[in-house]
């Protein structure tokens, strides 16, 4: 049964260099992980752009302070390789070496066996294995999976492929035994009871690389004193897996077979982070700030599910535009850039019709949800429209000239 945790931070512990209060949460997760018994594969499941990499770095800092035995591995930086297992073991080996752990010379001698595992039987097993792996849930795909595995066997140039696969099974077992032995020696030397391997940016990798890496972790690293902590956007990774096995493939069930614990990054501090970035990048002494920044940031986050990366990108681009054009109406640019990156169809619709449309005509396009409607009436209309004196007080506003100029600058510059 999959366990789910979402530990909360103490909001009273404020760190000016950590607006999202992730350092404290990282410490809590490290404490949680180091308290676990036996082997676990943990997912830090959070969407792209929510700060998973920074969070992994905070965890590494804490593990280092604790003198924990750990290795960090960036999957995306290595997905140009054809053999994920060799890539992972290479990073493990070099980090063991840099930290002067014992048993390195013996571990180095096992690399040939690792290479053999990855290049022979492993290829056939892993390419067809995902569909077979689902068991009863994947019975409709077993025939296709067997065909895929058979195709790999037939295409292999080896004269004795079946012997190679059998040898690979033996090598896999030998590899696990040797890894268990080396890990035990290191842990005894450091007076620790577990090796923690942190993997980042798995969801950015090629689907084939991500799948094979997960398969190797499951089948080769299921050792009692090894814990994997993998930062991933499970939703995105599931879509990538479907690109290989088809939309009918149950990618979510497949992924849950790998992760026995699921952790998350809380979203409760993103609003505070947004306000901080507005003060730092958008509003200068010469600018008029939004009167109620908190209302604006809350509305924008709710309407468009803004991530940390979204906020950084938008605020950085306004900062750039302000330096280039000395803009005096940053709120217009703020509204337009949010629309450009999070609701482009509406952004483009307004842009293409700036000389024709009045607010009532444009409002009907903000009908995705109550939140987007509120954002339009409370903020888009407020900053991007002005009353049209020619049509009288009872008619809607028209797009103001500052917004037209903002569109031009955005399109020409960004």
What tens digit of pLDDT does each residue of 339-351 get?
Answer: 999 989 889 988 8
Q: Which of 48-57, 135-144, 161-170 has the highest mean pLDDT?
A: 48-57
The values of phi and psi at residue 70, to 5°, are -150, 160
Please state, in angstroms and as integers, the Cα–Cα distance from residue 402 to each residue in 94, 254, 374, 386, following that order.
Answer: 57, 52, 22, 10
* DSSP labels, 84-131: HHHHHHHHHHHHHHHTT-TTHHHHHHTHHHHHHHHHTHHHHHHHHHHH
Tell me the pTM: 0.71
Q: Is the pLDDT of residue 160 over 70?
A: no
Please state, in angstroms and as integers, the Cα–Cα distance from residue 198 to each residue in 43, 69, 111, 211, following that order.
Answer: 10, 11, 21, 17
What tens digit of pLDDT does each residue of 204-231 get?
Answer: 899 889 998 998 899 889 898 999 999 9
- pLDDT of 133 reads 39
Confidence of residue 47 (pLDDT cuts 50, 70, 90): confident
- Tell me which residue of 64, 76, 284, 72 sits closest to 198, measured CA to CA: 72
Mean pLDDT score, 23-45: 94
Which residues have a Cβ under 8 Å from the Cβ of 189 and sit 6 or more positions away? Answer: 101, 102
Q: Which of 16-30, 89-103, 201-215, 271-285 has the highest mean pLDDT?
A: 201-215
Q: Which of 29-33, 180-184, 269-273 has the highest mean pLDDT?
A: 29-33
Compute the mean pLDDT over every residue in the chain, rounded to the nearest whole number: 79
């Amino acid at each position: 049964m999959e366990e789910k945790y979402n530990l909360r931070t103490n909001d009273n512990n404020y760190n000016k260099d950590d607006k999202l209060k992730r350092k404290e949460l990282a410490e809590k997760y490290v404490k949680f992980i180091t308290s676990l018994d036996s082997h676990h594969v943990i997912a830090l499941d959070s969407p792209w752009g929510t700060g998973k990499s920074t969070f992994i770095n905070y965890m590494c800092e804490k593990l280092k302070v604790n003198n924990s035995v750990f290795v960090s591995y960036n999957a995306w930086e290595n997905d140009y390789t054809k053999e994920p297992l060799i890539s992972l073991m290479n990073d493990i080996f070099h980090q063991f070496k840099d930290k002067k752990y014992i048993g390195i010379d013996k571990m180095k001698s096992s690399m040939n066996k690792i290479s053999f595992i990855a290049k022979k039987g492993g290829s056939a097993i892993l390419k067809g294995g995902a569909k077979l792996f689902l068991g009863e849930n994947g019975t409709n795909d077993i025939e296709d999976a067997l065909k895929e595995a058979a195709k790999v066997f037939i295409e292999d140039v080896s004269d004795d492929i079946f012997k190679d696969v059998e040898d690979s099974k033996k090598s896999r077992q030998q590899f696990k035994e040797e890894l268990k032995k080396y890990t035990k020696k290191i842990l005894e030397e450091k007076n620790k009871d577990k090796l923690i391997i942190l993997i980042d940016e798995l969801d950015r990798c090629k689907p084939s690389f991500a799948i094979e890496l997960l398969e190797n972790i499951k089948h080769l690293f299921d050792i009692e004193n090894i814990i994997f902590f993998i930062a991933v956007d499970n939703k995105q990774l599931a879509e990538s897996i479907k690109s290989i096995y088809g939309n009918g493939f149950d990618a979510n069930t497949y992924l849950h077979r790998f992760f026995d614990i699921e952790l998350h990054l809380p979203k409760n501090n993103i609003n505070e982070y947004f306000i901080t970035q507005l003060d730092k990048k958008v509003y200068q002494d010469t600018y008029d700030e939004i009167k109620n920044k908190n209302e604006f940031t809350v509305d924008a986050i709710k309407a468009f599910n803004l991530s940390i990366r979204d906020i950084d990108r938008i605020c950085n681009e306004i900062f750039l535009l302000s330096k280039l054009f000395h803009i005096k109406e940053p709120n217009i640019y703020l509204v337009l850039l949010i629309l450009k990156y999070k609701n482009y169809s509406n952004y483009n619709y307004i842009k293409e019709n700036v000389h024709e449309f009045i607010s009532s005509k444009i409002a009907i396009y903000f009908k995705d949800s109550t939140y987007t409607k509120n954002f339009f009436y409370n903020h888009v209309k407020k900053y991007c429209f002005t009353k049209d004196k020619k049509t009288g007080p009872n008619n809607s506003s028209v797009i103001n000239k500052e917004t037209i100029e903002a569109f031009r600058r955005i399109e020409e510059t960004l």
